[in-house]
Structure 1
Amino acid sequence: MLLLTRLIWESFSFALQALRANLLRTVLSLLGVTIGIFAIITIFTVVDSLERSIRQSLAFLGDKVIYVQKWPWIFGPDYPWWRYINRPVANLEEMKFLEENLKTASGVALYVVRPNATAKYLGNSMEGVSVIGATYGYSKVSEVKIREGRYFSQKEVEAGRNIVLIGDEVAKKLFTGQNPLGKEIRVKGQKFTIIGVMEREGENFLGAPRRDIQCIIPYGAFTRMYKISIFGIQPTISLKGFDEDKDLMNLEAETRSLMRIKRGLKPKDEDNFALNRPEMIAREVSSIFGVISFAGAIIGSFAILVGVFGIANIMFVSVKERTHIIGIQKALGAKNYFILFQFLFEAIFLSLIGGAIGIGLVFLITLIPQESLELQMSLKNILVGFSVSAMAGLIAGIIPAWNASTLDPVEAIRSK
């Protein structure tokens, strides 16, 4: 342990001496490592931030949720729409059947969305509002955070009463400086009494649906205003699973079985419904960003390669300049491995300095305020940066260190 500490300290001292003695040469040689680490960590940081922002934007889809819908989520250019166009849409009767018979679901709901509606209060109006008609269990399958007021009661939903939960932006737009609770807004000519205001969510990266511009009403009230049809507005049955992944798999299997029974499908008949899970989109996003990260690592590796040659050049010069000292150390009993590790650690320290500068530059970039994309450098990326730097130093220093360790002590002392 004492020997290792001594080796590390001496190597670190020699690395600092190399920086001080030949500052320009050392900085230019370390530039390759700095640029390489900067490129790699910048790409990783941007990709991670993009992926995180996209996942946050898709949070409205929920977690541990299965959607029973007409259309399957298929990614790619050749979507076989003709196979699904004549499928029936989910309905209230099917939702109630699943609610009564599912044993692996923690929540079941039916909901339908009508985007780009207009909400009015006296002389104020707001366009682009999303109206959601939902059954009572909607709050169990999709998070509905109430800032003021309350959620629907089951009797209110079953009766299809004209009551509404409004988003933060709707409240601010229609009721500037007023308390909206108990007041009435109009949507498509119908009056709705406000019983709750939802918490603000703010903008998201993809502009995905958000609670701030939504009005949630009972499903019965929705069907009195808008027509549900196979080619028009189509409801979705949403099922919330339990925490374990295996429970979600069981829920999917149980749902498929019950839906086939409800729709009277024979054993050889193909499903005429789709069971969609947000994990499908998450996997697609991860695969795309995995390719981008790999491409970024390849690009950065070329700069790292330049840095490896630069550090190797420093080490060869360092070995030549200190040949006399190496001879004296060997004459005094220093073993070959001591000399080897001394120069190897020195190369690693030099590379780590270059890597630290690159990581520091990336960190400075993350401090710049970004409106649409918040950059955050994770601990994982920092560790990757230092690991790659250390590996580059190891590769760059192995041959010079080996040459130094195999020098003949007599010839090395005479070299001066």
Structure 2
Amino acid sequence: MGESIRFAVQVLTTNLLRTTLSLLGVTIGIMLIIAVFTMVDSLEKNIKDSLDFLGSNVVTVEKFPFGGPDPNYPWWKYFRRPNNNYAEYEFLSANLRNAAAVTIVGRASTTVKYASSSLNSVDLWGMTYQYKDVYEVALGAGRYFTQQEIEGGRPVAIIGDEIAQTLFPNESAVGKDIKIRGYKLRVIGVMEREGESFIGTPSSDDRVYIPYKMFTKTYYIGRMWGINPQIAVKGYADDIGMVELQNEMEGMLRKVRGLRPKEDTNFALNRPEAIADALGGIFDILGTAGWIIGGFAILVGGFGIMNIMFVSVQERTKIIGIQKSLGAKNYFILFQFLFESIFLCLFGGLIGVFIVYLLTFIPFGTLEVTLSMKNILLGVVVSSVIGVVSGIIPSAKAARLDPVDAMRSA
């Protein structure tokens, strides 16, 4: 087998022009397939990273379901649904058995002031202590709220990095006092910088976190009107699809809201993963399109290599006859041409992968493009398979040649 490989390499390096022309089709095909898969994987990763703020294994209680209203459900009934309230949060927190953590979050837009500086349209979030257990909280400086600060509704705040840099450009924000709607709040922490996401989803950089009870002092939260806080529940990883958690939450919410068995549910239980699953279907379609586009190029390249291999067998018929007369076995001749075909396709595929790798250095704005090891291996495997498929028939033809007839050939 080693000698067959040596013969194959020698032939390929001797006919460089033919070798180069032969692998172009495979190079283009593999490049197209790997480029499409790399872009799809990068898009999926960037979008999912942008949705990290929604959390994982989280079920939220809201008025409207993700994906839009049910066309069979009167739209006006959604608006008549009651707002979530703190009593419901406490009831779920105390009674849910399938929940790892429960929090309630109030959200509003506000103005933040410090000395003579101010920032408008800042996201103000009021939350409870277990917020850090439901969602990721990455602090760059300072500390998180204590249980006493949350329960007492103390005037303390954690601010985003962009707010800290704008209001406190040359000093530490921790320990300073900011003003929100007339209330003075002490900054106890600053979030790590997240930067701009690919799809422009909300970032903690422009956000202020305060205790929920402090939030209720600044904004009205009524049963039907005012701000509608979101109740978020973190499930356990072994609860696949959060089915048990959602069933338990539905029963408890119907109970705490006093709904009779025949009454419609007046809340929606949403899972952020539903958005990712919907996007996953789009990425599957894009991946299929990549296979189709690249497949045509590979098909052309494969036929091209097969034709070149038939020509190569024809040119070396006399040499094959001499090799067989000197005792060369059929498998030696078979492997000699098969390895030549595989090396052609493999080299062409590696060039295609390398071109895609170079393309990852081109800036695409906020889209971070990365060539994964999975796609590199895909390129190598597909190239090798094309090499085997394209070379097996010419190789078998060469291996079956009669040595006498082969030596007599012109």
SS at match of 2:169: coil
User: Does 1:215 pair with 2:208?
Assistant: yes
Q: Which residue of 1 aligns with 2:305?
A: 311
Q: Which residue of 2 aligns with 1:296?
A: 290
SS at match of 1:114: strand
Question: Deviation string for 1:14-56 (max 9, x for gaps)?
Answer: 4433433332222122111001111110111111111101111
Question: Deviation string for 1:326-348 (max 9, x for gaps)?
Answer: 11222233333332232122211
Q: Give me the whole-angstrom Cα distance separating, in 1, the residues matched to 2:226 and 2:341.
A: 68
Structure 1 length-normalised TM: 0.92
After TM superposition, the structure 1 stretch with the greater mean CA deviation from structure 2, 198-207 or 287-296, is 198-207
Whether the 8 Å contact between 2:179 and 2:185 is mirrored in structure 1 is: yes
Shift of the alpha carbon at 1:75? 6.0
1:87-126 paired onto structure 2 within 5 Å:
87-115=81-109, 117-126=110-119
User: Does 1:250 pair with 2:244?
Assistant: yes
User: Does 1:179 pair with 2:172?
Assistant: yes
Q: Which residue of 2 aligns with 1:324?
A: 318
Q: Give me the whole-angstrom Cα distance separating, in 1, the residues matched to 2:62 and 2:70.
A: 21
Q: Give me the whole-angstrom Cα distance separating, in 1, the residues matched to 2:140 and 2:401.
A: 76
Whether the 8 Å contact between 2:239 and 2:245 is mirrored in structure 1 is: no
Of 120, 145, 162, 2:138 maps to 145
Shift of the alpha carbon at 1:99? 0.7
Q: Which residue of 2 aligns with 1:277?
A: 271
Q: Give me the whole-angstrom Cα distance separating, in 2, the residues matched to 1:114 and 1:205.
A: 24
Q: Give me the whole-angstrom Cα distance separating, in 2, the residues matched to 1:76 and 1:284.
A: 16
What runs of 5+ residues in structure 1 fail to find an aligned partner?
none
Shift of the alpha carbon at 1:410? 0.8
User: Does 1:266 pair with 2:260?
Assistant: yes
SS at match of 1:350: helix
Whether the 8 Å contact between 1:18 and 1:26 is mirrored in structure 2 is: no
User: Does 1:388 pair with 2:382?
Assistant: yes
Question: Deviation string for 1:246-289 (max 9, x for gaps)?
Answer: 49332222111111111122333332211111221121121111
Whether the 8 Å contact between 1:168 and 1:199 is mirrored in structure 2 is: yes
Structure 2 length-normalised TM: 0.93
Shift of the alpha carbon at 1:220? 2.0
Cα distance 1:64–1:231, how it changes in 2: closer, same or farther (>3 A)?
Answer: same
1:339 alignment partner AA: I
Of 187, 194, 200, 1:194 maps to 187
Q: Give me the whole-angstrom Cα distance separating, in 2, the residues matched to 1:374 and 1:140.
A: 29
What runs of 5+ residues in structure 2 fail to find an aligned partner?
none
Whether the 8 Å contact between 2:26 and 2:348 is mirrored in structure 1 is: yes
Whether the 8 Å contact between 1:241 and 1:247 is mirrored in structure 2 is: no
1:204-243 paired onto structure 2 within 5 Å:
204-229=197-222, 230=224, 232-243=226-237
Q: Which residue of 2 aligns with 1:134?
A: 127
After TM superposition, the structure 1 stretch with the greater mean CA deviation from structure 2, 223-232 or 209-218, is 223-232
Shift of the alpha carbon at 1:352? 0.3
Percent of residue pairs identical: 52
1:181 alignment partner AA: V
Shift of the alpha carbon at 1:62? 0.8
Q: Give me the whole-angstrom Cα distance separating, in 2, the residues matched to 1:411 and 1:83.
A: 88
Q: Give me the whole-angstrom Cα distance separating, in 1, the residues matched to 2:158 and 2:319.
A: 80
Q: Which residue of 1 aligns with 2:34?
A: 41
After TM superposition, the structure 1 stretch with the greater mean CA deviation from structure 2, 254-263 or 243-252, is 243-252
Shift of the alpha carbon at 1:79? 9.6
RMSD of aligned alpha carbons? 2.1
Shift of the alpha carbon at 1:223? 2.1
Q: Give me the whole-angstrom Cα distance separating, in 1, the residues matched to 2:238 and 2:42.
A: 27
Whether the 8 Å contact between 1:104 and 1:247 is mirrored in structure 2 is: no
Cα distance 1:356–1:76, how it changes in 2: closer, same or farther (>3 A)?
Answer: farther
Cα distance 1:335–1:20, how it changes in 2: closer, same or farther (>3 A)?
Answer: closer
Shift of the alpha carbon at 1:141? 0.9
Cα distance 1:263–1:310, how it changes in 2: closer, same or farther (>3 A)?
Answer: same
